[in-house]
Amino acid sequence: MDNEAVTAKSLLHTYMINDGTFAKNYKEVINDFSSWEQREYASKQVLLPENMGEHLGIGETSFCHEVYTILHNKDRHGKKHTIITIVKETKPSNVITVLRQLPEENRLKVSDITIDLSNSMGAIAKAVVNPATLANEETKVEGLTRCKKQMLNRRDK
């Protein structure tokens, strides 16, 4: 399953495996989860410094009623090795503490970081990857521009 594109569900049906037993064995034996060095705090943060690159993006997202800050490598285009950090937090001081655990030499190689329009994301980016160039997400800027134009048009009518 680790080396080929096979779904777990197809294995369950093909080999008549109990899904509860399979899930438990996969988590505890097959994928080395028990020996993973980030296991203790993985529910709050995940750091993958090997995924760092020159062009990063940072933003927040909501998943299962929790808000997460995600730092990702834009050069990977959402494929393997895109995610650098996921932090179950959006408070800048706490996220900065986690992101400063990334190796400094990797952080200094960052040339630019795309942020959403949130002040907290800008503060986090400046504190962690200074002197990288900060850029706002184009889609959000375009959306705000469109919204502002619509408001002005309505006001003028």
pLDDT digits (tens, 9 = 90+) for 66-85: 899 999 999 998 888 999 99
**Higher model confidence: residue 107 or residue 31?**
107
The strand pair at 83-87 and 112-115 is best described as unpaired
Sign of the alpha-carbon dihedral angle for 144, 112, 73, 32: negative
In angstroms, the CA 128 to CA 94 distance is: 12
Burial class (CB in 10 A: 0-12, 13-18, 19+), 10: exposed
Residue 65 CA to its chain's centroid (Å): 16
Domain 41-143, CATH: 3.30.420
In angstroms, the CA 100 to CA 124 distance is: 10
pLDDT value at residue 3: 62
Chain length of the chain: 157
In angstroms, the CA 95 to CA 125 distance is: 10
pLDDT value at residue 102: 93
pLDDT value at residue 143: 58
- Residue-wise pLDDT tens digits, 87-119: 998 899 999 999 999 999 999 889 888 888 778
- Does the pTM exceed 0.85? no
Contact between residue 65 and residue 54 where contact means Cβ atoms under 8 Å apart = no
In angstroms, the CA 144 to CA 117 distance is: 10
- Residues spanned by CATH 3.30.420 within the chain? 41-143
The helix or strand, by DSSP H or E, that contains position 92, with its residue range, turns out to be: helix 92-99
pLDDT value at residue 34: 67
